Amino acid sequence: MAVSAYLYGHYLYYATTGSTTQMKWTANTMKCILCTSTYNVSQDAHKFYSNITSELSTANGYTAGGVSLTAQTATYDVTNNYVVLDGADAVWANSTITARYAVIYDVSSGADSASQVLVGYVDFGADQSSSSGTFTVQWSSAGIVRITVS
């Protein structure tokens, strides 16, 4: 499944004000969790991992807290004026999973779930499933997140 991601508003705020532990996309541990269709996304009210509801339970190839992102990059396109945050696809092998959302959060930004900053989320548009197979969040070929500088 190819997807597009959206940022939580406070991620950019915290990244630019330094009001939490320094957030570095390419150096910090970013994780991806999966949530059911009952999760009510709020780009404005949800700030931290502890604000997330409806994360899948540990079972059937999924572990609460999610998987770490790898191969994270941040690039700036000076011709088109945008920043791209990217990384390898998030994968859960040998899993039986049904999820509607994928959420990325910065584990390194805080000591516990009440201070680990939410970065962004993906709405698959409908439940996506794996059955004794691999569940993959395939990020857009344009990157996980593209921030236009205007």
Q: CA-CA distance, 137 to 140, in Å (whole number)?
A: 9
**1-5, 51-55, 134-138 — which is least confidently predicted?**
1-5
More confident residue, 27 or 39: 39
Distances, alpha carbon 86 to alpha carbons 16, 104, 142, in Å:
19, 12, 8
Going by pLDDT thresholds of 50, 70 and 90, the confidence category of residue 21 is low
Each residue's pLDDT tens digit, 64-112: 999 999 999 999 999 999 999 999 999 999 999 999 999 999 998 888 8
The mean per-residue pLDDT over the stretch 106-128 comes to: 91
Phi, psi of 9 (to 5 degrees): -60, -40
